[in-house]
């Protein structure tokens, strides 16, 4: 890619990310006088109205997992009732500690707490709430690094992970100075235990498996992978951010879900997002540990600070207690039967999408999932297909290695008629591509589709440019 192509791509990005430039005033300094509250609310409502169609009608991959207006009003009311609370001041707002403790306990119950083979000797599964999946993963990796240093003397640690593991593990490796060892997956997108084992050495601080992985929505062989860690005293983390509030209920409904939770003795920690299929407000996630001793690796304590004694369980100090309240309220309001009913709808919708896509000869499904539909094509540029679907109002995720598209199924997708509409629009878009051989996406240069990449501009430059655009005010 050259600079002209980069400018073209970033212009497309800017038109997508900055639709309000020129429609509203751009605020680059404080107004002399405060803007009337009614005017502020009016402007927010106008932007909200522009944005709501795609996600509310189910035209988006993932992102909004519940989205029913009545449900959102309920959570907004819960948030408003708790907007001022901060769990850093537990004595001032003791309800915040109740919310968090009960969210953790209920999540642990869902993820095998009662079946833990060590519960009678180590006190059982514990955890805390974080701001999202990446935050949970960062905490898990940092704790594993410190555990490896204390228990095994590891001073130059590595993290062994399948290539399908979430990018947050690479972020954690960068932040906390671990060397990432990325291991290839099989043709179904699953980690290969013998390859993971070959990557383990005395420097390995943490092993990672996904249940499921984000790209294709497939579940790694957690039982075998966690046993590799257990046999060597190495921390094993199950990344269940995406599926933690769906897979256990799918299993109860009779679907074939392999073991992945604390019933396996080798699982040390699990990340699980309440703001995805837990249906809480963004952003909240739960990080669980097999026992209190492991959770203690996250605790921060200072006893000689002039400001007084200080401690916090996570990297954050102040935290939004209102989000703890919405996670707590969402779990109580859903109940077990609510999660079972939601899971049944999502799995059925995923099945319908996958069956429909399998009937389109130009497309090829990737992996086997109960909550994600990922597919590619050997006949044309799959990103060009994504462009055509965007023109029809769909917001579909793009994957790479190999190039593919990704539809994460939610309760929005499971609304009546949405899956049928998706398959109809997809078939029409494939037909259009067949009539225009050689058509490419404007984003094709990013992924190197169909052309040599000019080294004048790197992929890093593109990603930096994308983030810079988000902060533009003009």
Which residues are CB-neighbours of 163 under 8 A, at least 6 positions away?
Answer: 182, 183, 184, 185, 401
Residue 388, C-beta contacts closer than 8 angstroms, at least 6 positions apart: 429, 432, 433
Residue-level pLDDT at 454: 45
Could you tell me the two tokens for 253? 């409904």
Sign of CA dihedral 319, 325, 331, 334: negative
Q: How far apart are CA 358 and CA 98, in angstroms?
A: 48
pLDDT for residue 19: 87
* pLDDT value of residue 452: 38
Residues 116-166 have pLDDT tens digits of: 999 999 999 999 999 999 999 999 999 999 999 999 999 999 999 999 999
pLDDT interval class at 460 (50, 70, 90):
confident
Domains of the chain in sequence order: 94-331 (3.40.640.10)
Secondary structure (DSSP) of 360-379: STTEEEES--SSEEEEEESS
In this prediction, residue 13 has a pLDDT band, given cuts at 50, 70 and 90, of confident
HSE-up of residue 18 (Cα within 13 Å, Cβ side): 19
As a whole number of angstroms, the distance between CA 222 and CA 242 comes to: 15
Task: For 171-229, write each residue's pLDDT tens digit.
Answer: 999 999 999 999 999 999 999 999 999 999 999 999 999 999 999 999 999 999 999 99
Distance CA 351, CA 345 (A): 10
Q: Using the predicted structure, report yes or no on whether residue 448 has a pLDDT greater than 50.
A: no
Planar angle of CA 104, 110, 114, nearest 5 degrees: 90
Q: Quote the strand ranges of 102-251, DSSP E.
A: 126-130, 158-162, 179-183, 204-210, 235-239
Residues across the chain: 474
Edge-to-edge strand list for the sheet holding 372-377: 363-366, 372-377, 404-408, 397-399
CA–CA distance, 216 with 186 (Å, rounded to integer): 12
In whole angstroms, what is the distance from residue 190 CA to residue 185 CA? 5
What tokens were used for 147? Answer: 């555990």
- pLDDT-derived band of residue 444, with 50, 70 and 90 as boundaries? low
CA distance 183 to 193: 10
At residue 58's C-alpha, the angle toward residues 52 and 64, to 5°, is: 70
228-266 pLDDT tens trace:
999 999 999 999 999 999 999 999 999 999 999 999 999
Of 134, 138, 186, nearest to 162 (Cα)?
186
Contact, 33 vs 467, CB < 8 A? no
d(CA 261, CA 252): 14
Distances (CA, A) of 22 to 19, 34, 41, 89, 301: 8, 21, 19, 43, 49
| pLDDT confidence tier of residue 3, bands split at 50, 70 and 90 | confident
Angle at alpha carbon of residue 326, lines to 322 and 332, rounded to 5°: 145
pLDDT tens-digit readout, 79-101: 999 999 999 999 999 999 999 99
Q: Is the peptide bond before 244 cis (omega within 30 degrees of 0)?
A: no
DSSP 24: B
Judge contact between 170 and 180, C-beta under 8 A: yes
d(CA 177, CA 148): 13
User: Do residues 225 and 195 make contact, with C-beta atoms less than 8 angstroms apart?
Assistant: no
**Cα–Cα distance between 238 and 289 in angstroms, integer?**
11
CA distance 101 to 324: 10
Structure tokens at 10: 């970033």
How far out from the chain centre does Cα 278 lie?
Answer: 12
Kindly state the greatest CA–CA separation across the chain.
73
3-state helix, strand, coil in the chain (%, to 5): 45, 15, 40
Report pLDDT for 445: 46
Band the pLDDT of 457: cuts 50, 70, 90. Answer: low
- Token digits of residue 230: 């257990």
**Dihedrals φ, ψ of 366, to 5°?**
-115, 130
Which candidate, 209, 188, 339, places its Cα nearest to that of 264? Answer: 209
Write out pLDDT tens, residues 375-421.
999 999 999 999 999 999 999 988 988 999 999 999 999 999 999 99
- Are 143 and 134 within 8 A, CB to CB? no
Q: Please give the share of the chain, as a percent, with pLDDT higher than 70.
A: 96
What is the mean predicted confidence (pLDDT) over 321-350?
97
Residue 463 has pLDDT above 90, yes or no: no
Q: Which residue has the tokens 């055509």?
A: 388
Two tokens, residue 149: 């240093």
Q: What's the CA gap between 145 and 234, in Å, rounded?
A: 10
Q: Write the burial class of residue 250 (CB in 10 Å: 0-12 exposed, 13-18 middle, 19+ buried).
A: buried
pLDDT above 90 as % of the chain = 82
Question: Cβ atoms within 10 A of the Cβ of 36, count?
Answer: 9
- Cβ proximity of 365 and 353 under 8 Å: no
């Amino acid at each position: 890619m050259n600079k002209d192509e980069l400018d073209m791509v970033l212009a497309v990005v800017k038109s997508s990310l900055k639709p309000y430039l020129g429609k509203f005033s751009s605020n680059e300094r404080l107004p002399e006088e405060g803007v009337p509250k009614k005017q502020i609310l009016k402007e927010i409502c106008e932007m909200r109205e522009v944005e709501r169609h795609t996600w509310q009608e189910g035209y988006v991959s993932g992102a909004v997992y519940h989205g029913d207006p009545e449900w959102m009003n309920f959570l907004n009311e819960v948030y408003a009732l708790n907007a001022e609370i901060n769990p850093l001041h537990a004595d001032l707002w003791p309800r915040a500690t109740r919310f968090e403790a009960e969210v953790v306990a209920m999540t642990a119950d869902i993820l095998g707490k009662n079946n833990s083979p060590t519960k009678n000797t180590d006190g059982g599964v514990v955890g805390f709430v974080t701001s999202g999946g990446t935050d949970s993963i960062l905490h898990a990796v940092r704790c594993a690094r410190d555990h490896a240093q204390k228990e095994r003397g590891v001073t130059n640690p590595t993290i062994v992970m399948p290539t399908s593991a979430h990018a947050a593990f690479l972020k954690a490796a960068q932040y906390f100075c671990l060397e990432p060892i990325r291991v290839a997956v099989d043709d179904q997108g699953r980690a290969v235990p013998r390859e993971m084992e070959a990557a383990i050495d005395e420097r390995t601080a943490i092993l990672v498996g996904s249940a499921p992985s984000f790209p294709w929505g497939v579940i790694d062989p957690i039982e075998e992978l966690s046993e590799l860690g257990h046999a060597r005293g190495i921390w094993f983390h199950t990344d269940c951010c995406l599926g933690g509030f769906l897979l256990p209920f799918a299993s109860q409904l009779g679907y074939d879900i392999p073991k992945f939770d604390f019933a396996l003795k080798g699982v040390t920690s699990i990340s699980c997002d309440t703001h995805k299929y837990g249906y809480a407000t963004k952003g909240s996630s739960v990080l669980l540990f097999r026992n209190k001793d492991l959770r203690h690796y996250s605790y921060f304590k200072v006893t000689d600070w002039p400001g007084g004694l200080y401690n916090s369980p996570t990297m954050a100090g102040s935290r939004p207690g209102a989000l703890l309240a919405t996670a707590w309220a969402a779990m109580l309001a859903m109940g077990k039967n609510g999660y079972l009913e939601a899971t049944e709808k999502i799995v059925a919708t995923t099945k319908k999408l996958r069956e429909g896509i399998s009937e389109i000869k130009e497309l090829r499904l990737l992996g086997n999932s109960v909550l994600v539909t990922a597919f590619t094509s050997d006949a044309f540029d799959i990103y060009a297909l994504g462009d055509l679907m965007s023109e029809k109002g769909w917001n579909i995720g793009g994957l790479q290695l190999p190039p593919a598209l990704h539809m994460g199924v939610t309760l929005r997708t499971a609304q009546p008629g949405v899956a049928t509409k998706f398959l109809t629009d997809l078939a029409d878009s494939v037909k259009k591509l067949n009539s225009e051989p050689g058509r490419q996406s404007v984003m094709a240069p990013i992924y190197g589709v169909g052309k040599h990449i000019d080294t004048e501009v790197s992929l890093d430059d593109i990603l930096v440019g994308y983030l810079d655009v988000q902060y533009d005010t003009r």
